[in-house]
Chain A
């Protein structure tokens, strides 16, 4: 073979190698995030949870007492979950009222359930603000108001099928959805709307309590 031919073959060979190795390296402008991604869903999931458990969402929230809370911390207890924001003038007071109804109808079993209200408003609903809000609502210790990052809130809303949008005036347009989660964090019941009947939620919870 002529030397030129060999050289040419070599060029194509190395080019082909280069093509393959390019794919191994990742070719974005930015280096991929290393081990400790802040993503709530990138990390190793807890293994014994059902596939459909909301508690696969990782990441740490803060409650109205400023304590770190993870979704998985609710495992083992039935949960009533909704998303709201404290500056909400119309819908959220009704939403909270609906949940209070549920609590009342649970009567002596209400302490076996946790009521979790996650705020859309990561800028204004600080743990301190949520504490004031909880006090103003006069709710008990089994009510948990959560503050998280914008991306945590987005991921949770997507998991729960709750639509929302921040408006220019700082308010949020949002779906009003209450969900009942079983002890594994699987959604077993959901109810849309405001001034809804408490009975279906109570009956979903009662099934979990037996």
Chain B
């Protein structure tokens, strides 16, 4: 029995280590030091100051989201209000309350609306990242010695659909800020996706921002990252808050003190 007691102690410390490791994986955030950056949409001179913020290192997974739905049944498939999530909401889930659906638990949750994503983040004491925060975090290059060594390659592979579905979060590439899969896995909601207004006085909202379509000097059509920005911004303008789309998920953020 004495040796068993020793084993026990050994086990407990092992488990402690193991769970520390586990807990650090999902919902883990990285602090990103703010700074000026040149947003895609503002033209070549406008610098935007992004304050320091925290962002989830990985997108929210199906397993994460299942927990949220269990704790907040108003966000289950059957109870959600259509004004907050369209009929495609969680359509890839077979069963909403059990973990037994055929979705991959560690794949990013998709088919979630902006309202659902926002509610999830608030439940976590977080919020959705703002557009400039997300873009700021996403522009960091992949860390070295990975299969993907450039954003261009990730994005061109993604757009040519060579990346398969149901990739797990944290499987594609990590950037130098420590965030995983900012490109190449899914599109992600941002808090102010509806901030893309047409022109400064809002007189004609049918007009799209000129920078988006007119190939302003800041754009280089040969640069795949700018092409990706183009597609990303155009995609965002097409969204409505209750849209639930097959390739659209999210991660959460927090304001840094």
Nearest-neighbour CB distance to chain B for A202, whole angstroms, equals: 22
A92 CB to closest chain B CB, in angstroms?
9
Contact B200 A33 (CB under 8 A): no
Contact A18 B115 (CB under 8 A): no
- B44-87 interface (Cβ within 8 A of A): 63, 66-67, 71-72, 74, 81-84
Q: Mark B199-231, 1 if CB is under 8 A from A, else 0.
A: 111111110000000000000000000000000
Q: Is A48 an interface residue (CB 8 A)?
A: no
In the complex, the answer to whether B194 meets A173 with C-beta atoms within 8 Å is no
Q: Which residues of A contact B240 (CB under 8 A)?
A: 158, 161
- Is the CB–CB distance between B122 and A37 below 8 Å? yes
Q: Are A175 and B197 in contact (CB under 8 A)?
A: yes
- Kindly state the separation between the CA atoms of A24 and B63 in the bound complex, as whole angstroms: 10
Check if B203 sits within 8 Å of A90, measured CB to CB: yes
Residue in A11, A37, A52, A194 whose CB lies within 8 Å of B83: A52
Picked from A19, A33, A167, A175, the residue with its CB within 8 Å of the CB of B122 is: A33
Determine whether A149 belongs to the interface, using a CB cutoff of 8 Å to chain B.
no
State how many residues of chain B have any CB contact under 8 Å with chain A.
51
In whole angstroms, what is the CA distance A10 to B123 when docked?
35
Q: How far is the CA of A42 from the CA of B14 in the complex (A)?
A: 39
* CB of A122, distance to nearest CB on chain B (Å): 14
> In this assembly, does B246 line the interface, its C-beta being within 8 Å of a C-beta of chain A?
no
The bracket for how many chain A residues form the interface is: 35 or more
Docked complex: A155-193 residues within 8 A CB-CB of B: 155, 157-159, 161-165, 167, 171-177, 192-193
A173 to B201, CA, bound (A): 5
Q: Are B115 and A158 in contact (CB under 8 A)?
A: yes
Chain B residues whose CB sits within 8 angstroms of the CB of A159 once the complex forms: 83, 241
Instruction: Say if the beta carbon of A91 comes within 8 Å of chain B.
Output: yes
B199 touches A173 (CB 8 A): yes
Binary contact track A35-68/B, C-beta < 8 Å → 1, others 0:
0010101101100000111101000000000000
> At the interface, yes or no: A23 with Cβ under 8 Å from chain B?
yes
Residues of A within 8 A of B122 (CB): 33, 37, 39, 42
Chain B residues contacting A193 (CB-CB under 8 Å) are 204-205
Pair B81/A45 contact, Cβ less than 8 Å: yes
B203 CB contacts on chain A under 8 angstroms: 90-91, 176, 194
Task: Tell me which of A23, A91, A154, A157 contacts B202 (CB under 8 A).
Answer: A91
- Complex A-B, nearest 6 residue pairs according to Cβ-Cβ distance, in ascending order: A30-B125, A158-B241, A28-B27, A51-B82, A173-B197, A165-B195
